[in-house]
Amino acid sequence: MHSTLTEHARCLYGDEYRPTPDCDQEHREHYFVEELTFADAEDIVAMLRELSPHGVDGRLPVWVRNLAYRLVLLQRPDEPALMREAAESLWLHGPDWDDIAADLVRQADFLEAGGKGS
């Protein structure tokens, strides 16, 4: 068993900055998605930042990044910095999600101006 979500992702998708660790487990994407689905926000953010430290890099599939940011924002709906980070990721892989990214920035602006989250 992998000890962290990051380790599991690195094993499954690889890492642009480190060698993929030796692992004797069979890797099935749906097991990773299940782990991601129930991971806490700290573990998800750690995975995103370690495997894609510059936003445009890394080997995580775009759909994994999108899902990860969505799950983080569901757990932390009042964090403008995370909203902006998620928006940047969407813009990098758009234009399909440009309207969602713009909405995240508007929500972040609202929260920073003293508004309450929804």
- pLDDT given at position 26: 76
pTM of the model: 0.90
Q: Which residues contact 19 (CB under 8 A, 6 or more apart)?
A: none
**b/e per residue 60-72 (b: at least 16 CB within 10 A):** beeebbbbbbebb
- Which pLDDT band, with edges at 50, 70 and 90, does 84 fall under? very high
Please indicate, yes or no, whether residues 94 and 60 belong to a single structural domain of this protein: no
The pLDDT, as a whole number, for residue 23 is 79
Classified as helix, coil or strand, 44 is: helix
What is the per-residue pLDDT across 89-114, written as a single tens digit (0 to 9) for each?
999 887 899 999 999 999 999 999 99
How do residues 4-15 score in pLDDT, each as one tens digit?
999 999 999 988
pLDDT, mean over the chain: 91
Residues 68, 88 within the same domain: no
Helices and strands: H and E segment counts in the chain: 6, 0
Specify whether 88 is located in the same domain as 57: no
Place of tokens 């370690």: 50
Residues 62 and 111 in one domain: no
118 neighbors 77 (Cβ within 8 angstroms): yes
CB 15 within 8 A of CB 60: no
Task: State residue 118's pLDDT score.
Answer: 55
Q: Average pLDDT of 34-50?
A: 96
CA dihedral of 52, 58, 62, 67, whole degrees rounded to 10: -40
Do 107 and 96 belong to one domain?
A: yes
Range of the domain at 22: 1-76
Query: Residues of the chain with pLDDT > 90: what percent?
Result: 71
Over 60: is that where the pLDDT of 117 sits?
no
Cis peptide leading into residue 95 (ω within 30°):
yes
